[in-house]
Amino acid sequence: MQTDVQKFAATPGTHIEMTYFDALMQAQVEEMARDERVVLVGEDVAVYGGVKLLEQFGRNRIWNTPISEGSFTGMGIGAAINGLRPIVDLTVGSFLYLASDQIINQASKLRFMTGGQIDIPVVVRCCMYPVGSNAAQHADRPYPFFMNVPGLKIVSPTGAADIKGLMKSAIRDDDPVLIFEDNHLWTVKGDVPTDPDHLIPIGKADVKREGKDITLIAVAGAIRATMEAVDALDEEGISVEVIDPRTLKPLDHEAFKSSVAKTGRLLIVDNAHRVCNVGSEIAAVMAEEAFYLLKRPIVRLSAPDIHVPFSPALERDFYPTKERIMQASRQLL
C-alpha cells in the first residue's frame, strides 16, 4: 500500500497551491460530481460557501434548511440509512450540542443496535472559531464530548491537503464521520494533490516536523501557535517533533509512541478546555502503555476550565500561545 510520504512525493504538476477552505470546497465538488448520492444539507449553505456548489449541482443536491439543527441532522442520518450520502453542515461547533441527540443516540448506535443491518454514511461538518470575540456560545471546541461516544469517527484536519484527503475519505466512508474544521486555518495555503482519488486514511497521524528533543502533539487549530513556537525554538537549538493527530477517533497512539521512543519528552497542545480533552486521553494512554519511554512527566497546554470570554483583553491569551508553548518546551528539557 502506498504510504502518505509516497503520495505526497508525487511528480511536479500533480499539486496545486490552494487555501484550506478552497481544498475543502474542492473535496465536496469532486465527491458530489463523482457520486450523485452526495448531498449537502445545512443552514445558509446555498449562500455561504455553497454558491459554486449550487451552480454546478442545483437545488436537488444543495439544501438550505430551516433553523432546526437537531432535526435536519436527524434528517441527514435518515437519508443516509435510506440511500443517500449526506454532508450535514452545522456551521458552528457549538451548534453540535443541538444535534447531539441525533448524532449520539441515532447515528452512532443504529448500526450496532440493528446487528449490522444499517449503514450510516453521513458526514457532519462544523467549524470552530478562534479568538475574535465570538463569546461563549459560538466558540466551543466540542470534539472531546464526541470522542467519548463509541461508533463515531472524528477528524480534525489542519492543512489544505489534509482537509481535502480526509473530507473525501469521510464522504466515501460508510460510517458516520464528524469533521471539525478550524476557522483560522481557512486561509492557510498548502500544496494539494490534484488526484481526484487523493484520500488520507482516517486514523493516521502525520509528522508535520521532524525533531529529536521533544514530541509535541498539536491538536486541530493548535497547530498554528505550535509551528510559530517550534520555529522560534529551533533558533534556540531546541529540536521539536510536531505530530498532528489529524484523526481524533481513533487516535493513532502508535505514531505518538514511535516519536516519544525517540525524544522521551511529550508536550500536548489542545485548544479545548482542559478537563477530559484530547490531551487527557493521549496522556492517559501514554502513561499506561509507554511510561517507560518518558524521561520527564507529560505536559499539557489547553484552554482553561473557563468559558470563552467576549472581551479581547480577556480572550487574547485564552488559548495556548506561542510564548507558553516555548516556555513549556524549555521546561521539559
Partner 1 sequence: MRQFKGGKIPGYLHTSVGQEAAIVGACLAIGDNDAMTGTHRSHGHPIGKGAHLNALMAELMGKEGGICKGRGGSMHFADKSVGIMTESAIVGGGIPLATGCAFSAKVRGVDQVTLCFFGDGAVNQGTFHESLNMASLWKLAVIYLCENNLYAFTTSLAQSHGQADIAQRAPGYGMPGLTVDGQDVSAVYEAVAQAVNRARVGQGPTLIVAETYRFDDHSFRSSSRALGYRSAEEVEKHKRDRDPLSLYRKVLLEEGENEENLRAIEDEVTDDVKQALQFALASPMPRPETLPDYMFKSSLAG
Site for partner 1 in 131-150 (CB under 8 A): 150
How many of the other CB atoms lie within 10 Å of CB of 9?
A: 9
Question: Smaller CB distance to partner 1: residue 132 or 250?
Answer: 250
Instruction: Yes or no: say if 100 and 145 are a contact pair by the CB < 8 Å rule.
Output: yes
Instruction: Yes or no: say if 296 and 228 are a contact pair by the CB < 8 Å rule.
Output: no
* Residue at 110: amino acid letter: L
Only one of the segments 82-90, 138-146, 296-304, 321-329 lies at the binding site for partner 1 (rule: CB under 8 A); that segment is 82-90
Give the total of residues touching partner 1 (CB under 8 A).
52
User: Between the CA atoms of 41, 47, 53 and 54, what dihedral angle is there, to the nearest 10 degrees?
Assistant: 90
Whole-angstrom Cα distance, residue 225 to residue 177?
27
- Report the phi/psi class of residue 51: left, alpha or beta, with left for phi > 0 and alpha for psi in -120 to 50: alpha
Instruction: Yes or no: say if 103 and 146 are a contact pair by the CB < 8 Å rule.
Output: yes
Chain centroid offset of residue 312 CA: 26
Question: Smaller CB distance to partner 1: residue 6 or 60?
Answer: 60
321 binds partner 1 (CB under 8 A): no
82 binds partner 1 (CB under 8 A): yes
Site for partner 1 in 13-42 (CB under 8 A): 37, 39
228 binds partner 1 (CB under 8 A): no
Q: How far is the CB of 171 from partner 1 (least distance, A)?
A: 13
| Residue of 17, 35, 44, 174 that binds partner 1 (CB under 8 A) | 174
Question: Smaller CB distance to partner 1: residue 251 or 303?
Answer: 251
Site for partner 1 in 89-128 (CB under 8 A): 101-102, 105-106, 110-119
The cell for 301 is 497546554
Q: How far is the CB of 32 from partner 1 (least distance, A)?
A: 12
Q: Which of 15, 138, 184, 307 is catalytic?
A: 138
80 binds partner 1 (CB under 8 A): yes
Site string for partner 1, 192-221 (x = CB under 8 A): ---------xxxx-----------------
**What DSSP character marks residue 161?**
H
| Residue of 185, 214, 251, 269 that binds partner 1 (CB under 8 A) | 251
Q: How far is the CB of 76 from partner 1 (least distance, A)?
A: 6
DSSP string, 211-222: -SSEEEEEEGGG
| Residue of 44, 236, 254, 323 that binds partner 1 (CB under 8 A) | 254
Site string for partner 1, 269-308 (x = CB under 8 A): ----------------------------------------
83 binds partner 1 (CB under 8 A): yes
Kindly give, in sequence order, each residue whose CB lies less than 8 Å from that of residue 106, ignoring residues fewer than 6 positions away: 74, 77
H or E element that contains 300: strand 299-303
DSSP H helices, the chain, are: 4-8, 20-34, 51-57, 69-80, 96-101, 110-113, 143-147, 160-172, 223-235, 253-263, 278-289, 312-315, 322-332
Active site residue 15: no
Q: How far is the CB of 67 from partner 1 (least distance, A)?
A: 9
Instruction: Yes or no: say if 8 and 184 are a contact pair by the CB < 8 Å rule.
Output: no
Binding region for partner 1 (CB under 8 A): 37, 39, 60-61, 65-66, 68, 70-84, 101-102, 105-106, 110-119, 150-151, 153, 173-175, 201-204, 247, 250-254
Q: Which residues are catalytic?
A: 138
